[in-house]
Structure 1
Amino acid sequence: MDLGRRDFLKASAVGGLALLTGLAPKKTLAGQPVIPLRKQIGEITTVCPYCGVGCNAIMSLSGGKLVHLEGDPDCPINEGSLCPKGASLFQVANNEDRLTKVKHRSPGASDWADMSWDDAIAAVATRIKETRDRYFDETDESGNIVNRTMAIASLGSVFPNTEEAYLMSKMLRALGIVYIENEARICVSAAVAADSETVGRGPMSNHWIDLGNSDCIMIIGGNFAESFPVAFKWATRAREKGAKIIHVDPRFTRTSAKSDLYARVRPGSDIAFVGGIIRYVTQDMDANPENYNMEYVKEYTNAAYLVDPAFAGPADTETGLFSDKSTWAWQKDGSGNILKDTTLSDPNCVFQLLKKHFARYTDDKVVEITGTDKDTFQEICRTFAATGQVGKAGAIVFSSSACQHSTGTQLVRGLGILQLLLGNMGVAGGGLNGITGAVNGLGCTLQGLVNHWGPGAGSLRPPQASEPDFADYGGNKARFASLLKAWYRDTDHHTSYRYYPRRDGDYSWQPLFKAIDDGIIKGLICWGINPAVSGPNSAEARRILRKLEWMVVIDLWETETASVWQLGDCDTEVFLLPAAHSVEKEGSVCNSGRWNQWRYKGADPPGEAKSDLWIVYNLMRKIKTLYMGQTTKNAAAITELTWDYAGYNTDPPDVHEV
């Protein structure tokens, strides 16, 4: 075809236009679907479980899942902040390694097998009944009623809610179990004994917020800034207002870096350090009484009480020991009133005896024992003693590192003596403040998850074998009768008193493991505790745990305790029950500062995991069924026990009923 230049350009223009017309995009509507940038979610509060401070957090939930977590700005403790432990709650709740099914290891088996909850509850209840009945003691060798089994033990816990701890304690006592311990025994329980002697009770005397009112804070045996950073915030606020912070510890830590005075001491030498401060205070009181609240010392402590003249302390005897306990008595008048010397000058008054006892802790002796710098020690003495002035307040903060010595109780007792001399007990910004390692450590312990306390702590001690009848009980009869009526509603308290197991020995942590080793304890229940790695000798603990006939582990994970059989040479039958985390259930908790707080259920537990409340409730229901019709082995303690906590729940129990 003969195509000229002009015709070619025309043809190209027409063809291009046609092509562009075919490729032209179609018109569309503006309202296209878009991905929403915001999503409606629910929010509810909880309490962090990881230490005794008791910080609150806000959980954001969607479809039963925890999607976000942050500090609660309305909580007066943490004011919206969270430490790394608290922030990790989100990771725990959504962790793919959580237990979701019941696991069972048969004796001699080489692997876990899945088991249903119904089968697990029935099997565990059967093991408990068989072991209890086979090794149940109705009387001791002297014929005293004891109604107990030494063949079953319970360890844990400090992590359940208070309502769960109460039901655990109730079930264990009804079964006649006396080997009952929790983590407090290897944490700060040494301080409880000391505080009870000092002020009559064990928990910390003040609260974290109150540290902001202190003029001086002495931290001894603990890394306060890193272990409990939210609580330490209140110490730094006091410092911003002019307070001094003193840190006494073998290690220089971030707490030391934030302190005004730091004393490095040898491990275990704390008593000498505190004894030296007490010596300084008692001597300075004589020289400069105007610098101390002498009215407090004379009227609100026993410093003026007169002691039996026959009493002798270590400084008075050749053996360096105290005199016979028969001399540990007060001087009294004809009406039985304790005699006092308000001048504090009588050689037999408590103040003078105390002064004589601590006179040995000279500055040079303290430096020799502790290895601390002498100038630093003297400066600490002057600084903390200054809180003894009227209108001043000094706080002492300590943790398990101060308690976990063979002399831990004596150390904390020394701290209590120092605070009483300075008038720092019962005042804002003062106190003796021990930090627990779990938010409900206090709540669980007060509910009797230790062998020497019942629900109600020291005011409700378990009866001894030497107290066969209610009339013989030497504890608080009114409170014990109330407990018995709550547990055995239709039984008179004189009868139900005999159901309660009797104690006549030491059933704490170390004796418990020795009893397993000796073949006395056959079965062990572990509630949220990992004893294989918790004690002072984990290798020995694992060896001993493998001697059990059966073990029940209730936890979020497969722990070293649950898998102890994998070390070989072990016929122990193990039931591993998946537990709900703190954000997956509701109930009350009591932090170190004695604040009761309620935490709400947020996320749903993963898989088949259940709350401790559900587990203990259904386990005891099954045990009660197994004992129906039985009249021996103190069966009435189980069959007559009140256990009606269904409430309005379709899946009982109802925590509000507990």
Structure 2
Amino acid sequence: MANADCIIIQGSNMAECHPVGFQWVSEAKARGARIIHIDPRFTRTSAIADTHVAIRAGTDVVLLGALIKHVVDNDLFFRDYVVAYTNAATLVGEDFVDTEDLDGVFSGYDERTGTYDMSSWAYAEREDGEGASDDEVGGPSGGHEHGAHKSARAAGDQHGAAGPALEHAKVERDETLQHPRSVFQVLKRHYARYTPEMVEEVCGIPQWQFREIADALTSNSGRERTTCFAYALGWTQHSLGAQFIRTAAILQLLMGNVGRPGSGIMALRGHASIQGSTDIPTLFNLLPGYLPMPVVGTHDSLEQYLASISSPLQKGFWTEAPAYTASLLKAWFGDAATPDNDFCFDYLPRLTGAHGTYQTVMSMLEDEVEGYFVLGQNPAVGSAHGKMQRLAMTHLKWVVVRDFQLIESATFWKDSPEIASGELKTEDIDTEVFFFPAANHVEKSGTFTQTQRMLQWHHQAVQPPNDAQSELEFFHELGVRIRERLADSTDERDRPLLDLTWDYPKDEHGETDAEAVLREINGYHVSGERAGQLLDKFADMKADGSTSGGCWIYTGVYAGGVNKSANRVPGPEQDETAAQWGWAWPMNRRILYNRASADPQGRPWSERKKYIWWDETEQKWTGKDVPDFPVDRDPSFRPDPDVGGPAAIAGDDPFIMQADGKGWLFAPKGMVDGPLPSHYEAQESPVANPLYGQQRNPARLVYPRKDNLWSPSGDEPGSDVYPFVFTTYRLTEHHTAGGMSRWLPYLSELQPEMFCEVSPELAEQQGLVNGEWATLISARSAIEARVLVTERMTPLTIKGRTIHQIGLPYHWGVGRDAVVEGDGANDLLGIALDPNVQIQESKVGLCDIIPGRRPRGEELLRFVAEYQSRSGTTVETGNTHRDEPHDEGRP
């Protein structure tokens, strides 16, 4: 990032929420980089940026789509890069129909289920093609799910990081980019209506400011210069969030800003190891290393499972999934995992649908869940629809809470807002709460994995006090006790637990050795001449059971018996690649897909951005980083069209994890809500979608329930009852749901009370006084907050109408144990989810705001119900998947 010539921070208040990472923005600025901050609020990030652009929350696809149109129409894209390294020249099959022709949905949409059959999005097959399983390459193949299958929405990442099986060798291409079915022309038509005028009308960004952004991007991209995007929860927490990021990826590929110094899209992680938690992972739909979780009825055998991840004829390293999977199962089940029993593949659980945190909470309310582990989170405060979270826990038999303090998720039974409103009575709650004190990060050893995919080892400074334990020690001990109880069991269902490798050694303090776990994750040779030795690289993994490894992308972190995550060579003692500080997966590569930093012939695009290149004398790739490419693969190499896997990677295919070796402008598979991003309004929005009659993402996940109501949106009757937009965010002084900050007097004094940020214009309109109380009301609940009148909030003009946005930090909760308490912003939110990754929409909602404190007790419930009645809100409001098409006069 420090090497960027322009940095566009969009969907993040990086300076306040990621201050350590922001040092590299400051470094880039000191070197002359242009910094642009695009955000509904003016923040400390905006103050440091050269330009702040106020945007209506939830409209990012329009802005980014207009930038795509601008660079395509004006021939400002990096043509050599785009033709060689992306799928721009690939032809799409004749069956594909765009949203522009179907008023907001793509071909394959099923109105009954709200899901897509992706087969019409496939690539066209060459006329001389042989061996393809369908008319178009990437059509239905073994193990792939379509349409209304119950688990079709289980995960957007259901097929691994590069999507499902895709045959590569039979695609039709037009490198002039003129064929009407080329991805480039499809893209051009798709964004034809995304004009600067549309940006002004939808986003509230003046046309002159759009041109300023466009000029900064295009003048700082190409052979000599690079631009970097940085985002965080401001992009992810939307019912269209994954497509926000996809739009930026398309733009960056067009500009040649992937795989090069100062380029890319930086996903800013809000916790020390959120990246690690997705790598290992803690997500319901993934296994370690982005292998998909098996699906019932689809992955009944290991053979079916592996066929759904990759095709034998596709390019790249996902064809090695059999080795990654077998090694993972050997790490987990040891000697019990053999080729004869598919390495205990049958021991793995199966998905029957989406089982994320929000589906689990709703299952609690239906009395389908008995117990709940709350670890490193505080859902009573930090999750969307706080009221639903708290009520759901009263339906459980037991809850285990591990934290530093008695957070609100541990005390909901005695002092939640629902106790005050009379909805709950302590004596009627049968849930048994077990609270276990947790060790903090200085009281345990282990790794953090950050935005750059870098593992950094942190050493234990002190022993945890009293009964506090690390997560590692807690779960290891829990596993030991469960296995002891089941030791004499002959029940087949207990075999997975009894066959687990659970023989971790103890460290000098008598606790489970964290480095032993890291070695298991790295992986071993379990047989052969090197039996017992640690693996050096993931390419050493075998599908025959001769290797083990808990997460293939982490293989190499302990190569040679050295904990490379503990490397700490100071910056001044090495070059700026800093290869001796920590260890970045995979293989300590600091920039992914860095083959793209050189042209198709292997020469640097420019001396200024020189990074990886082909050494003709040595006949290998070399440079400042570990090449993310077969090191001896000549740039002129062309594979046999009948081979697949790593051997099928051409010398100019930089995207070695993609099934066709190209960066995807158009996604024939992998995204469940469309191959190209389209603009839809948020689940709740004051504006009607000007592009289509389809108001919202037609594939979003909604849950029509009496306890999950939505306000009317756009032009719908009753939408004026909740006329203002609210958006949630974080403060530097507090950490997420407050468990690590609201119990600390020093931090609590800095930000003692819940507040709302409003513009002077909105304050005058609503009679709000700075420092006094205000009540905010949504279709779910009402909260109170202190008023902060500030010019940081800018009213926007949308289609001649003023749209006011209100900022709400979400760190406070109601309870008697913290130093400070307050109403929770997340109580205002409902539950609507992005269909790819199951994340909630919490950056856009509708509300009213009035002066004074909220009602107490049962009066609060009547107050909220009165608003619902006035707006005409019902269970059906906002929950239709397919909206009525525009008439002939649509824009």
Task: Sort the TM-score into its range (normalised by shorter chain).
Answer: 0.5 to 0.7
Name the residue aligned to 1:246. Answer: 36
Q: CA deviation at 1:309?
A: 2.7
Q: 2:212 aligns with which of 358, 365, 379?
A: 379
Looking at structure 2, the residues matched to 540 and 460 of structure 1 have their Cα atoms a distance apart, in angstroms, of 29
2:192 partner SS: helix
Name the residue aligned to 2:454. Answer: 595
Report the residue type matching 2:78 in the other structure: N
Name the residue aligned to 1:620. Answer: 479
The RMSD of aligned alpha carbons is 1.7
Looking at structure 2, the residues matched to 235 and 649 of structure 1 have their Cα atoms a distance apart, in angstroms, of 41
The answer to whether the Cα contact below 8 Å between 1:272 and 1:361 also exists between their aligned partners in 2 is: yes
Identity of aligned residues (%): 35
Looking at structure 2, the residues matched to 331 and 610 of structure 1 have their Cα atoms a distance apart, in angstroms, of 56
Q: CA deviation at 1:648?
A: 5.2
1:468 aligns with 2:300: yes
Looking at structure 2, the residues matched to 386 and 459 of structure 1 have their Cα atoms a distance apart, in angstroms, of 39
Report the residue type matching 1:303 in the other structure: A
2:510 partner SS: coil
Name the residue aligned to 1:490. Answer: 335
Report the residue type matching 1:606 in the other structure: P
The answer to whether the Cα contact below 8 Å between 1:307 and 1:329 also exists between their aligned partners in 2 is: yes
Report the residue type matching 1:588 in the other structure: T
Q: How does 1:443-522 map to 2 (within 5 A)?
A: 443-456=276-289, 458-459=290-291, 461-474=293-306, 475=309, 476-493=321-338, 494=341, 496-522=344-370
Name the residue aligned to 1:404. Answer: 237
1:357 aligns with 2:190: yes
The answer to whether the Cα contact below 8 Å between 1:645 and 1:652 also exists between their aligned partners in 2 is: no
The answer to whether the Cα contact below 8 Å between 1:263 and 1:373 also exists between their aligned partners in 2 is: no
1:322 aligns with 2:106: yes
Looking at structure 2, the residues matched to 650 and 384 of structure 1 have their Cα atoms a distance apart, in angstroms, of 54
1:532 aligns with 2:380: yes
- Residue segments in structure 2 that go unaligned for 5+ positions in a row: 109-117, 130-168, 310-320, 416-425, 518-891
Name the residue aligned to 1:131. Answer: none
2:379 partner SS: coil
Looking at structure 2, the residues matched to 409 and 397 of structure 1 have their Cα atoms a distance apart, in angstroms, of 14
CA gap 1:653/1:222 in 2 versus in 1, 3 angstroms: same
Q: Deviations over 1:325-351 (max 9, x none)?
A: 432121222235211111111111111
2:230 partner SS: strand
The answer to whether the Cα contact below 8 Å between 2:285 and 2:292 also exists between their aligned partners in 1 is: no
Name the residue aligned to 1:18. Answer: none
Q: CA deviation at 1:481?
A: 1.5
Report the residue type matching 2:475 in the other structure: V
- Residue segments in structure 1 that go unaligned for 5+ positions in a row: 1-210, 286-290
Q: Indicate the larger mover: 630-639 or 364-373.
A: 630-639
Name the residue aligned to 1:578. Answer: 437
Looking at structure 2, the residues matched to 465 and 645 of structure 1 have their Cα atoms a distance apart, in angstroms, of 35
Bigger relative contact order, structure 1 or 2 (CA pairs below 8 A, ≥6 apart): 1
Q: CA deviation at 1:292?
A: 4.0
Q: Indicate the larger mover: 482-491 or 499-508.
A: 482-491
Looking at structure 2, the residues matched to 310 and 485 of structure 1 have their Cα atoms a distance apart, in angstroms, of 44
The answer to whether the Cα contact below 8 Å between 2:293 and 2:350 also exists between their aligned partners in 1 is: no
Name the residue aligned to 1:635. Answer: 494
1:295 aligns with 2:143: no
Q: CA deviation at 1:460?
A: 5.1
Name the residue aligned to 1:605. Answer: 464
Q: Deviations over 1:390-435 (max 9, x none)?
A: 1110000111012111111111110111101100010100101111
Name the residue aligned to 2:779. Answer: none
Q: How does 1:48-63 map to 2 (within 5 A)?
A: none
Name the residue aligned to 1:219. Answer: 9
Q: 1:273 aligns with which of 46, 53, 63?
A: 63
Name the residue aligned to 2:125. Answer: 332
Q: CA deviation at 1:477?
A: 2.5
TM-score, normalised with respect to structure 1: 0.65
Q: Deviations over 1:489-514 (max 9, x none)?
A: 22134262211111121001211111
Looking at structure 1, the residues matched to 382 and 294 of structure 2 have their Cα atoms a distance apart, in angstroms, of 26
The answer to whether the Cα contact below 8 Å between 1:387 and 1:422 also exists between their aligned partners in 2 is: no
Looking at structure 1, the residues matched to 97 and 31 of structure 2 have their Cα atoms a distance apart, in angstroms, of 46
Q: CA deviation at 1:526?
A: 1.4
Between the two proteins, the alignment pairs up a number of residues equal to: 441
Looking at structure 1, the residues matched to 456 and 232 of structure 2 have their Cα atoms a distance apart, in angstroms, of 22
CA gap 1:648/1:399 in 2 versus in 1, 3 angstroms: closer
Q: Deviations over 1:361-411 (max 9, x none)?
A: 111111000111221111111211223321110000111012111111111
Looking at structure 1, the residues matched to 97 and 6 of structure 2 have their Cα atoms a distance apart, in angstroms, of 35
* Structure with higher helix content: 1
Looking at structure 1, the residues matched to 347 and 104 of structure 2 have their Cα atoms a distance apart, in angstroms, of 46
1:436 aligns with 2:269: yes
2:350 partner SS: coil
Name the residue aligned to 2:513. Answer: 654
Q: Indicate the larger mover: 559-568 or 211-220.
A: 559-568
Name the residue aligned to 1:234. Answer: 24
- Runs of 4+ residues over 4 Å off in structure 1: 647-650
CA gap 1:342/1:438 in 2 versus in 1, 3 angstroms: same
Q: CA deviation at 1:633?
A: 5.6
Q: CA deviation at 1:463?
A: 5.0
The answer to whether the Cα contact below 8 Å between 1:460 and 1:480 also exists between their aligned partners in 2 is: no
The answer to whether the Cα contact below 8 Å between 2:294 and 2:305 also exists between their aligned partners in 1 is: no
